Chain A
Amino acid sequence: MTDAIAPPVLSAASGEAIAVVNTALDRRGLERLDLLLLTVEALAINGGEVMLWATQQLGYESLFPNRVELWKRRCTNPLRRSTRRTALTGEEIEALIRVICAMADRLYPMLHQLLWSREPSALQDQRWAKFDQRLRDLIGERMNLRRGSVQRLLETESSSSVQRQMVITLALAAGAGGVDRLRASLQDPTP
């Protein structure tokens, strides 16, 4: 895994003007949204700062003027250690989805490396182990470990499949059509 960060060129994933879309998510959607942001942080060195920079590049300074405000919005995830009851507005949800897609676009070479089966398996194992450790650290630091679904994220058996699903989600959310695909996926009903 390379820790280099791509050159600072960011725009709306589709290359078009960002339309204001009022997006609503249920509890499970909010959990997935925050977990994807956490995955981005685990993949990118200094991910929190890069994410804040991405919000500014996408024109969301008014929604997330500083790190604290971005942090507060992310704490609407019910699985957080310090969860907030204030609901996210549709505009905030849409902004976070676009931030994830823009970050996924920047991290795409790294996502590709993780998913490419033609790489030597020893190298792949090393990359996944590093990602696994960083994601575990972040989950342990930020999430409520008494919740069953958080414990499942840390269990060795189930965590690898969840992590792979998160990386595939980011890879398919990167690129021109990624925003619509990710938004629709996050709006799936709870089965």
Chain B
Amino acid sequence: MFNLSYRYDQTAARLMVEGLPDISAGHGQGVIGILSSWKLQFVGSPELEGKREHLEAMLATVLPYARYLLSGVARPFGDADSPVSLAPADNGGHQLELRSSKPGVSPLTIALDDAELADLVRCLDAMRLDSRVQIAWADQRDRPLARRELAERVPLMKRLAPSVMGGSALLVVALLSALVPLPESKQPKQEVVPTESAESPGNAAQPVPKAE
């Protein structure tokens, strides 16, 4: 059986996958169901190659990174143990790091700019959605980000600034108001009202003239 090979070209990136039809899954001729190898080439960078698990790791790292970048959130994907990691670089680009499963091989780092990243994403998209490559990739469904994740795109200082300013203003107002002397409390004057006898003059018993 012939080994099949498909190539996905962009200006700065080229992805090539090789494999065979999976007869047990009913694939026809010309469909890759079993991936034997893949190669990725960036202009001016060494060629990368690997097995299916490395390509899966590439998909699981690059596509979510692109999804977050689309929402303005540049955050790293893939930790130090994963075969592929992608993180924003200090110069505004992106740093793709590939770790070999062979012991003693140091990781390979490739600096990508925005155009090369877009090329890589297009190559990966074209491959995973190609009807001639029928491999059960991990689910890469794009979803809206959570509010908490979106907050990450605003720098911490900028996020905290309103709270800090508000708190400071409150503190200043509280201190200033503490310095203002309290007004003296004035007791209302109590006028001394002469107490009158219980019997009012009008009610005083009038002397009854004696009948002569």
List chain A positions with a Cβ less than 8 A from chain B. Answer: 14-15, 108-109, 111-113, 115-118, 165, 168-169, 171-178, 180-185, 187-191
Contact = CB atoms under 8 A, between A and B. Distances in A.
A117 to B, nearest CB: 4
Contacts of B71: 185, 188
Given A117-B93, A177-B129, A178-B125, A189 B63 contact: no
Given A118-B113, A180-B142, A188-B144, A175 B11 contact: no
Given A112-B11, A118-B113, A174-B122, A189 B142 contact: no
A189 B115 CA distance: 27
A177 B126 CA distance: 8
A111 B129 contact: no
Interface of B: 11-12, 43, 63, 66-67, 69-72, 93, 113-116, 118-119, 121-122, 125-126, 128-129, 140-147, 150-151, 153-154
Contacts, number: 96
B129 A185 contact: no
B129 A172 contact: no
Given A112-B118, A165-B72, A180-B141, A189 B150 contact: yes
B147 A181 contact: no
Given A111-B118, A178-B125, 12 more contacts: A15-B129, A109-B11, A112-B11, A112-B12, A115-B114, A115-B118, A177-B140, A181-B66, A181-B70, A181-B142, A184-B142, A191-B150
A88 B12 CA distance: 38
Contacts of B43: 118
Contact of B126 (A108, A115, A176): A176
A170 to B, nearest CB: 9
A126 B195 CA distance: 100
A15 B141 CA distance: 17
B121 A175 contact: yes
A176 B129 contact: yes
B147 A189 contact: yes
Nearest to A184: B142
Contacts of B67: 181, 184-185
B69 A112 contact: no
Nearest to A161: B72
Given A172-B69, A184-B142, A185-B71, A177 B125 contact: yes
Contacts of B125: 175-178
Contacts of A176: 122, 125-126, 129
Given A14-B129, A175-B125, A183 B142 contact: yes
A171 B118 contact: yes
A3 B143 CA distance: 35
Nearest to A162: B72
A113 B154 CA distance: 28
Nearest to A189: B147
Contacts of A168: 69-70, 114, 118
